[in-house]
Structure 1
Amino acid sequence: MEDQQKQFVLGIVAYAVQRDISAEKLCRLSGISLPDLMGKNNIRYTAKQLNDLWLNACHLSNDPLFGLHLGESLQLAALGVVGEIVKTSTTVGNAITIATSLTGLVTDLFKMEVRQGEGRFAIYLIPDQARRKDSEFAFKQTLDFFMVFMIHELDGFILEKIKPEEARLPISTPGKEYARLLRCEPLETKDEYALTFDSKYWDLPIITANYELQTSLLQNVNLVELTQAESDSYRARIYQYLLKNAYLGIVSLEEIAANFNVSPRSLQRKLKDENVTYQEVADEVRKSLALHYMNSGKYYVKEISYMLGYNELSAFSRAFKRWTGTTPGIYQKHLTTG
């Protein structure tokens, strides 16, 4: 379990860095050696270290919903071999079944169980009450993470935003962020944590190519050369976030702001200070993605238009001509003719 647990800790720290938190400070306050974490050796972290890591991440980011937002941002690859195994699944149901059986490699605070019923299936997160007692804060944050992470990854499996039929958890006033990230109004329960989905998703084939696509994109699609200060800018951070989650389309300013734990108005001000707007950053990402999809030679223009979130092919064609000076059809033709 040590290696998978270490991967998960690395994911938490990496996301904290995206939130302007010093990795060295976060690890020091949590009793974790950053050099050891970055090294190759396996490490077994104590319940106190993990609990302190979540506490300090929430405190330093001023975000009590850090676990929820981590679930929205983290990708399956961050879970190491667990993620690699899940990615080899053939259907959504197969992936969920494998994921539930491997949860114990990442955390021992709860186990996952799938229950199928008439026209629906539910994923239950069942607490280990003995371990939970000594790590209540870590338990809540980790559980929040997993609930959102499962929904987010299901999106990636089929390139569609999935909305659960129900989300059940013992929170009397969960607030708007829970409803936004769980995509439904949570139902309060005594001590039950579960997500219920329509059974139509169970047998859908997984589009595994999106993971290879993301790896390729992150390796080949980059911003122009940036100074260190520019690479730490909101523009660069938002660009990278949109790129990493490209298979879900370009999200709204409100969703981006929530992920960075700032108000939409505040984010607009920060971008204005950098002489750029959110729309311009989103446009940069669409242009980079469009060119990458085109150059890959694997997609029709209509497919690319859809993947980039354009409702009308004509709207994508106009945008592409604005970016490149030519239409998608002519650009694609030039690629094939050399």
Structure 2
Amino acid sequence: MKEATFSVYITRGIVQFAAAKYGIDGDRLCQDVGIDPSLLKMPDQQIPGTLHSALWQEVVKRTDANFALHLGEAFNLATFGIVGYVLVNCQTYREVLEKLSRYTRLFSQGAYIHFSVADGFVFCDCDIVEDVKNYLLEQPRYAIESTFASLLTATPVLTGKPLLLQAVWFKYPRPDDISEYERIFATGLHFSMPTNRIIFDANCLNWSILSANPHLLTVFEQHAQTMLEAMNREDDYTRKVVQEIIKQLKGNLPPIEAVARNLAISVRQLQRELQAEGTSYQQLLDQTRKELALRYLQSPHTPIYDVAFLLGFSEPSAFHRAFKRWTGQTPKAYRALSG
């Protein structure tokens, strides 16, 4: 059975908070649970849930049972990667929850977030994925605690207002000591419930996001959507290479050597793996640039020369030639038709 994986953004957050708050040696902590410390420098990578389970258990053993709650209190959207960039540029809190639900899979394949509205309240659920090998089925507490506490921490940053909580549900049994839960959530706490859920006033959905920027939202969401589509592809190395290209394609073309290094594989072996999957690095680079170009050009506010730069073209004329080769149209003509 396939195992659920989790973003190194989560791993890094746990390790860095343990080091900053409790003085734990982060490298030693990683090594003790079987995680290569160098992975923390590659936060868009995914690691198996078994390693996350071992990390949670070890860090709680070395700190306290409420480590995950305290981690959530210290949550910073700036450390959340592309999903964080998407959220801070939404226009309303409803849109924040919609984007969070859509892109949860970029940082967790073991849980998904969704919400509904009824009788003046929002029911925001965090459900565990059951059709994969998933440590959260047996050990959900720390991930759920940190997720819910993070949402409470992020809301005032995004909106300038605290979330108007009505109740918080946890699917797992009541811990012996819930004083920290009571301090942080300050509302009705319920354990051994049918699902993990936060309930709050539906008026919160209309709150404006202080840092909203529709132009940047379009750019970052196009990036996130491309990453999500790459993650959904079945061919393992094709998916990984496309993800690396997207991450590294910021004004310069990523060489295959840099991609291979981040995937901890030799260039020759990577070429063989891609050949076995019926593709090549150059084909994936070309296709990824094309897909990103089509997405970027759908935003009328992004200048064509900025699109050319983002995709690693040395000058707009080179981008024009490539785009015409891809589509038979100029970027300007494509934008006019798609608008």
- TM-score (norm. length: structure 1): 0.57
2:12 aligned partner: 10
> Counterpart in 2 of 1:176?
179
Whether the 8 Å contact between 2:9 and 2:79 is mirrored in structure 1 is yes
Following superposition, the deviation at residue 162 of structure 1 comes to 2.3
CA offsets per residue over residues 250-293 of structure 1, 9 Å max, x none? xxxxxxxxxxxxxxxxxxxxxxxxxxxxxxxxxxxxxxxxxxxx
Shift of 1:190: 3.2
Match of 1:37 among 36, 40, 45: 40
Deviation at 1:160, TM superposition (A): 2.2
User: Partner of 1:206: helix, strand, or coil?
Assistant: coil
| Paired amino acid for 2:101 | T
Deviations 1:103-133 (A, max 9, x none): 1111122111111112111101111134475
Map of 1:162-173 to 2, 5 A cutoff? 162-170=163-171, 171-173=173-175
Does the CA-based 8 Å contact 2:164-2:204 persist in structure 1? no
Aligned length: 206
What's the secondary structure of 2:206's corresponding residue? coil
**Counterpart Cα distance in 2 of 1:3 and 1:106:** 8
CA contact (8 A) 1:166 1:186 kept: yes
- C-alpha distance in 1 between matches for 2:16 and 2:43: 18
Could you tell me which residue of structure 1 aligns to residue 196 of structure 2? 193
- Unmatched 5+ stretches in structure 1: 210-338
Tell me the equivalent position of 1:149.
150
Report how far residue 159 of structure 1 moved: 1.6
Query: 1:136 deviation in Å?
Result: 4.9
Going from structure 1 to structure 2, the CA distance change for 1:79 and 1:137 (only over 3 Å counts) comes to farther
Report the equivalent of 1:52.
54
The residue number in structure 2 matching 1:114 is 115
Structure 2 residue aligned with 1:24: 27
Question: Are the aligned partners of 1:4 and 1:80 in contact in 2 as well (CA < 8 Å)?
Answer: no
Counterparts of 1:189 and 1:52, CA distance in 2: 24
CA RMSD of aligned residues (A): 2.3
Preserved CA contact (<8 Å) 1:3 1:43: no
Q: Where do residues 85-100 of structure 1 align in structure 2 (5 Å cutoff)?
A: 85-100=86-101
Q: 1:5 to 1:116 in 2, by over 3 A?
A: same
Distance 1:204 1:45, change over 3 A: same
Q: Distance in 1 between matches of 2:202 and 2:136?
A: 34
CA distance in 1, matches of 2:204, 2:99: 16
Query: Aligned partners of 2:163 and 2:196: how far apart in 1?
Result: 18
- C-alpha distance in structure 1 between counterparts of 2:190 and 2:101, whole Å: 22
Q: Deviations over 1:8-52 (max 9, x none)?
A: 2111111011121110111011111112322x4853311211111
Contact 2:130 2:137 in 1 (8 A): no
Mapped partners of 2:87, 2:103: distance in 1: 9
Q: 1:53 corresponds to which letter in structure 2?
A: L
CA contact 1:67–1:142 (8 Å) conserved in 2: yes
In the alignment, residue 184 of structure 1 is paired with which amino acid?
T
Q: Judging changes above 3 Å, is the alpha-carbon distance between structure 1 residues 147 and 41 closer, same or farther for their aligned structure 2 residues?
A: closer
Read off the aligned partner of 1:80 and give its amino acid letter: G
* Deviation (angstroms), 1:3: 11
Distance 1:131 1:69, change over 3 A: farther
Task: Report the CA distance between 1:151 and its aligned residue.
Answer: 1.3
Amino acid at match of 2:15: V
Tell me, what secondary structure is at the counterpart of 2:198?
strand
* Inter-partner Cα distance in structure 2 for 1:176 and 1:123: 23
Q: Distance in 1 between matches of 2:103 and 2:76?
A: 16
**Matched residue of 1:13: which SS?**
helix
Rounded Cα–Cα distance in structure 1 between residues aligned with 2:191 and 2:39: 41
1: CA distance, partners of 2:209 / 2:75: 19
Contact 2:164/2:200 (8 A) holds in 1: yes
Counterpart code for 1:21: I
- Residues 1:136 and 1:17: Cα distance change in structure 2 (over 3 Å): farther
Q: For residues 42 and 157 of structure 1, what CA distance do their matches in structure 2 show?
A: 23
Q: Which residue of 2 aligns with 1:74?
A: 75
Cα deviation 1:178-235 (Å, max 9, x = unaligned)? 11112213123433110011111111111118xxxxxxxxxxxxxxxxxxxxxxxxxx
Asked if 1 retains the 8 angstrom alpha-carbon contact of 2:6 and 2:49, the reply is no
Equivalent AA in structure 1 for residue 187 of structure 2: C
SS of the aligned residue for 2:199 comes to: strand
Is the Cα–Cα contact under 8 Å of residues 160 and 210 in structure 2 kept in the other structure?
yes
Percent of counterpart pairs with the same letter? 17
Q: Normalising by the residue count of structure 2, what TM-score does the alignment of the two structures yield?
A: 0.56
Unaligned stretches of 5+ residues in structure 2: 213-339
1:4–1:79 Cα contact (<8 Å) kept? no
**Distance change >3 Å, CA 178–CA 30, structure 1 → 2:** same
